[in-house]
Amino acid sequence: MLEFVPQAYTRADEAFDCLQTAIVKGDLTPGEKIGEVELCSRFHLTRGPLREALGRLESRGLLVRRPHAGVKVVSVSADELIELYRIRELMEGLAARQAAERMTDAEIAALRATLDTHETMIEQAQGQAYYQAEGDYDFHHRIATGSRNTKLTQMLLGDLYYMVRMYRYRLSTSSGRPHMALGEHRNIVDAIANRDGELAEFLMKRHIHAARKNIEQKIRDGELTF
Amino acid sequence: MLEFVPQAYTRADEAFDCLQTAIVKGDLTPGEKIGEVELCSRFHLTRGPLREALGRLESRGLLVRRPHAGVKVVSVSADELIELYRIRELMEGLAARQAAERMTDAEIAALRATLDTHETMIEQAQGQAYYQAEGDYDFHHRIATGSRNTKLTQMLLGDLYYMVRMYRYRLSTSSGRPHMALGEHRNIVDAIANRDGELAEFLMKRHIHAARKNIEQKIRDGELTF
DNA sequence: ATCACACGGATTGTCAACAATCCTTCAGTA
DNA sequence: TACTGAAGGATTGTTGACAATCCGTGTGAT
């Protein structure tokens, strides 16, 4: 029956999720030195599972750890954000190409459905924040998994997206171009539906390239502060 | 005076390194279920640090872990190896471009020096194995760090290279084209030295593309078994 | 004979105390 | 007054024991 099993959720997993969302949402500010005991009391955990979670988060680059000195959330810079988008441009381009070759029709239909949801969200004005925060993430998430490329999916979902979401919360960047982004998304889905991998890759790369240019402009205008 | 400090090596780090090299070198065969206590006695560790290391290795994709069931080394497939090279092609291309823009002259000189070392190794025939095993890794390693792109470096050194090295040991693949690879390496360094990022990217992508084609051919010929 | 279920052993997950290391503070001296 | 050094406190790293969960075996019923 292929039912989704919650897969024995351990305390360490819980700790990992808690810390991750806390970092992403900015509850833990970058550079802030944080003690293990404080984290324990804050999230109602014990130090064992917490330390295991810290290890995982460190190897994912969300926090840095100096032996016997403590842990702190990674400090972020404008340059690193730009570099991140350069990487995204390449990897998501590849993901789009392979998704066009490998996604099932059902997955493509589901992808279209999410875009419809986004559209109504945007039309209802209040949706802009939602769109930028989670809707866009959902779209890219589906394409990444649709690529059937294990390592690529792992890197996008496990590394890059958390970073991107962290920056988004930090910079409170409603990137300001939801309508345009939605149109670009639709074109990408069309290319995937037509099984045109080359075009899908091109459009995806241009999509992320545009997003990067948008951010660079905002940085120059001083709209984004770090 | 900017001295390199060995940075307080903890037991968990030790465990991480031990396990990592064991996995990479094939001492731990893929799919093999491994108990924590056995690992402890084998590497003279206690379970605490070991578990922390296991967590890190899991999030890097070198092993999989099912709660209460145990850990096992990732099983590798031919397809996944190919996918890995697709990703490398893009990311190392970017690394080469940025390295051309940002490497210091001293770093470039050092890069050339390593190539000279490789050449003498190859000429002394016995060096083929060395070249493929570590020399090639060294070359790509230097370019990755030379890119000054934090996340890119992190992903290449922390994820992809370990995977590639693991496959190499597993498949005992002296990719069989050391001379050709050395020539390609020299061309890449020349492009970097000329600060021609575009060319460096092109050459690096072609270099890795060729390596992938070489592997695909061997798989077709049945020279590589999984 | 095959399947279902339960029990026991073994393994993993968790906890709290102990040891090792670092950072801060506070003298003391130039 | 500024700097060096050491001692104390606090925090992290580690350990071994305890609890929770899973896998294999064996028994019973269909």
Report the alpha-carbon distance of residue A29 to residue A75 in Å, rounded: 9
Ramachandran category for residue A141: left, alpha or beta (phi over 0 → left; psi -120 to 50 → alpha): alpha
Enumerate the nucleotides of strand D whose atoms come under 7 Å of any protein CB. Answer: 11-17, 20-23
SS3 state at A73? strand
Q: Which residues of B touch A (CB under 8 A)?
A: 7-10, 12, 48, 51-53, 55-56, 58-61, 66-68, 80, 83-84, 86-87, 90-91, 93-94, 149-152, 154-155, 158-160, 163
DSSP bridge pairs for A63: A73
A158 with B55: Cβ contact below 8 A: no
pLDDT for the residue numbered B126:
56
Q: Chain A closest CA to B108's CA: distance in Å?
A: 22
Residue that wins the pLDDT comparison between A224 and A73: A73
- Residue of B9, B80, B155 with shortest CB distance to A150: B80
A7: Cβ–Cβ under 8 A, 6 or more apart, which residues? B66, B67
Residue A223 CA to residue B13 CA, distance in Å, equals 41
Which tens digit of pLDDT belongs to each residue from B173-219? Answer: 555 566 677 889 999 999 999 999 999 999 999 999 999 998 898 88
Written as six digits, the tokens of A3 are 């039912």
Residue A141's pLDDT band (cuts 50, 70, 90): very high
Strands A70-73 and A63-66: antiparallel
Residue type, A96: A
Specify whether the CB–CB gap between B204 and B96 falls below 8 A.
Answer: yes
pLDDT for the residue numbered A200: 98
The pairing of beta strand B33-34 with beta strand B63-66? unpaired
Q: What is the ipTM of this complex?
A: 0.87
Range ranked top by mean pLDDT from A15-24, A99-108, A119-128: A99-108
Average pLDDT along chain B: 87
Chain B nearest-CA residue for A16: B55
Q: Tell me the percentage of chain B whose pLDDT exceeds 70.
A: 89
Tell me, what amino acid is at A114?
T
Q: Whole-number Å distance, CA B50 to C1' D18?
A: 19
**Choice between A129 and B147, residue whose per-residue pLDDT is larger:** B147
Residue A24 contacts by C-beta under 8 Å, 6 or more apart in sequence? A162, A165, A166, A169
Taking the CA of residue A79 and the nearest CA in chain B, the distance in Å comes to: 9
Report the relative pairing of strands A70-73 and B33-34 from DSSP bridges. Answer: unpaired
Asked whether residue B5 carries a pLDDT value surpassing 50, the answer given is: no
- Strand C: positions under 7 A of a protein C-beta atom: 11-17, 20-23
Alpha helices for A124-196 (secondary structure H)? 127-130, 136-146, 150-155, 161-171, 178-193
* Tokens coding A71: 């842990």
Q: What is the pLDDT of residues B97-117, one digit of tens each?
A: 999 999 999 999 999 999 998
A66 nearest nucleotide via C1' and CA: D12
